[in-house]
Amino acid sequence: MRLGEITHRLAQAPTAGKLPFGMQHIVILKPYRFIPPCRSQFWSRLLVRVLMRPYLRRFYGIERFECINGEKLRQSLDDDCGVLVVSNHIRPCDPMACGYLTRVVRQSMYCMASRHVFENAWIDRVLSRRCGAFSVYREGTDHASLQFAVQSLVEPDRPVVIFAEGSAGRMNDRVQPMLDGSALIARTAARRRAKQQPPGKVVIHPLAFKYFFRGDLTTSLEPVLSEMERRLDVPVKNGEELLPRIRGIGNKYLAQQEIKYLGNTQRETSDLHDRIEPLIEAMLMPLETKYGTAGGRSTYIRVQQVRTKLLPDLIAGRLSAPEESERHEQLRALYDIQEMASFPRDYLGQHATAERILETVEKIEDNLIGQITVHRPLDCVMQVGHAIEVSPRRTREKTSGAGDIALDPLTGQIESSIQSMVNHLSQRGARP
């Protein structure tokens, strides 16, 4: 597809009101094959320069960008280090927004992206590969993807970006437990670079994303809340305060999930999280027992472990019709579990910000309707952390919890660095 055609289609596309992010866009029931990036820096630089801003403005409501400490990343590149950028993952558009970082540091990047990105709309497929995205199969070990990432650090021509939380959690203020894959990639590359003559280094730069909503929150959310109230058969409360309405919607939605999976509702408990946690366990533990998974330090990891065991036979077509139907129901349940776990306790407490309120509504809307309303305008701020030199050798630290695999200390260091930067950005706010 020619650049002129891409530009024309983008210009002709209506301003997005809603984006589909339902279950059907996450589970791809066909055999996986590795999709490499386009290595041409011409395409990545051109598309970032010409299309990034209008694309993100039109489809995601992002109007302004800011990058802090980009020179730290530039210095590592000038020092000929293999550079791995490990980021939190707030919104699905984070990888595209990284294009702004490439402009700041004057260097194209490779970006590891879930396979479903390449099964999405035409513009996502076209832009992703040309901007440097390569696929990863998160339902199992993807040796081709891991090898590409490692080799890109051993013979560095571009930094590699990984969103180590695994999925877009829509939580501006809290970093979720990160997967160990980024540490594994970095250490493998560090061992190979250490054997070069002269020896080379691999460094990790933590990257923190933060979004700020600059519109009128009540005006933006009113039609969304009204629609959800109608769907849940809750009295529409136009004009009332946002937080009580959101809690009422959340209560009714949770009651539906309790009836669906438990056969009854636990309305006597006022705290929603006191109801969410036992509901998750009641849904997840039987699946872990059935598929023989070991658990993990986060609900996301536990869900991924079950999915890894559940999907292969389904994708290969080795199941009877009743078995296929059962697996699809289990996938739906796993998705519901993951989404319920994404509502942290006290996120809408005393210090609920506009962004926290917006994120909560977006997640409920996605669960209930299968679409997310685009709220605008948003400011996107990213901060680059200090370089962490990667040692070829690993020391292990134990984690609490039965069945947990020892966490690589490097992963914990990355998490801590990103959370610290997120806290700083929250206190600082976005510059007008």
DSSP letter for 18, please. Answer: E
> Which helix (H) or strand (E) covers residue 75, if one does?
helix 70-78
Which amino acid, 354?
A
- The answer to whether residues 27 and 160 belong to one domain is yes
Specify whether the CB–CB gap between 213 and 63 falls below 8 A. no
- Hey, is 68 helix, strand or coil? strand
Domain boundary among 351, 373, 395: 373
Task: Tell me if 166 sits within 8 A of 138, measured CB to CB.
Answer: yes
Q: Which of 358, 373, 388 is the last residue of a domain?
A: 373
Which pLDDT value is given to residue 341? 87
CB 294 within 8 A of CB 284: no
In this structure, the answer to whether residues 190 and 76 fall within a common structural domain is yes
Alpha carbon distance 135, 34 (integer Å): 6
Contact call for residues 353 and 191 (beta carbons, < 8 A) = no
CA end-to-end distance (rounded Å), the chain: 38
- The tokens 């609900």 sit on which residue? 299
Q: What confidence score (pLDDT) does residue 179 get?
A: 86
**Tokens linked to 50:** 């010409």
Whole-angstrom distance, CA of residue 209 vs CA of residue 421 = 9
Q: What is the mean pLDDT of residues 52-66?
A: 93
Is the pTM value of this prediction over 0.75? yes
pLDDT at 23 over 50: no
Angle between helices 299-316 and 321-341 (to 10 degrees): 160
313, 189 Cβ separation under 8 angstroms: no
Task: Tell whether the model's pLDDT for residue 358 goes beyond 60.
Answer: yes
- Domain end, chosen from 345, 373, 401, is at 373
Helix residue ranges, H only, 269-320: 272-291, 299-316
Burial class (CB in 10 A: 0-12, 13-18, 19+), 404: middle
Q: Is 2 a residue whose pLDDT tops 80?
A: no
Which pLDDT belongs to residue 62? 96
Nearest to 161 by CA among 208, 112, 120: 112
49 with 174, same domain?
yes
Per-residue confidence (pLDDT) for residue 331, from 0 to 100: 92
pLDDT top residue among 106 and 265 = 106
| b/e sequence 336-345, b meaning 16+ C-beta within 10 Å | bbbbbbbbee
Relative to beta strand 378-384, strand 160-163 is unpaired
Query: For the chain, what percent of residues have pLDDT higher than 90?
Result: 52
Residues 185 and 264 reside in one and the same domain:
no
Report the domain count for the chain.
2
**Together in a domain, 82 and 198:** yes
Residue 281 has pLDDT above 70, yes or no: yes
Q: Cα(334)–Cα(259) distance, rounded to whole angstroms?
A: 16
170 lies in the same domain as 222: no
Q: Is the pLDDT of residue 11 over 70?
A: no
Residue with tokens 């597809």, as numbered in its chain: 1
Q: What pLDDT, in 10s, does the model give residues 193-248?
A: 999 999 999 999 999 999 999 999 999 999 999 999 999 998 888 778 899 899 88
Q: Are residues 237 and 109 in the same domain?
A: no
Sort 113 into a burial class: Cβ within 10 Å, 0-12 / 13-18 / 19+.
Answer: buried
- Is the pLDDT at 22 greater than 70? The verdict is no
Residue 9 has what pLDDT?
47
Burial class (CB in 10 A: 0-12, 13-18, 19+), 349: exposed
Q: How far apart are CA 81 and CA 165, in angstroms?
A: 24
**What residue type is assigned to position 296 of the chain?**
G
Determine the Cα–Cα distance for residues 329 and 331; give it in Å rounded to an integer.
5
Highest mean pLDDT among 203-212, 250-259, 260-269: 203-212
135 in the same domain as 227: no
Using alpha carbons, list the distances in angstroms from residue 126 to 1, 63, 134, 167, 403. Answer: 8, 23, 12, 21, 41
Residue 6 has pLDDT above 50, yes or no: no
Give yes or no: residues 249 and 175 share one domain: no
What pLDDT does residue 289 have? 93
407: DSSP letter: B
Domain of residue 139, CATH code = 3.40.1130
Helix residue ranges per DSSP H, 142-268: 143-154, 181-194, 217-231, 242-262
Note whether 155 and 293 are same-domain residues: no
Same domain, 283 and 252: yes
Query: Which residue range is the domain that position 241 belongs to?
Result: 217-373
283-323: per-residue pLDDT in tens? 999 999 999 987 777 888 899 899 999 999 998 889 999 99
pLDDT of residue 361: 94
- State the pairing for strand pair 371-373/18-20: antiparallel
Provide the pLDDT for residue 87.
97
Q: Judge if 314 and 391 occupy the same domain.
A: no
Higher pLDDT, 68 or 44: 68
pLDDT at 177: 87
Instruction: State both tokens at 432.
Output: 């007008």
User: What integer pLDDT is reported at residue 31 of this predicted model?
Assistant: 82
Torsion, CA 71, CA 72, CA 73, CA 78, rounded to 10:
80
Tell me the pLDDT of the chain averaged across its residues.
86
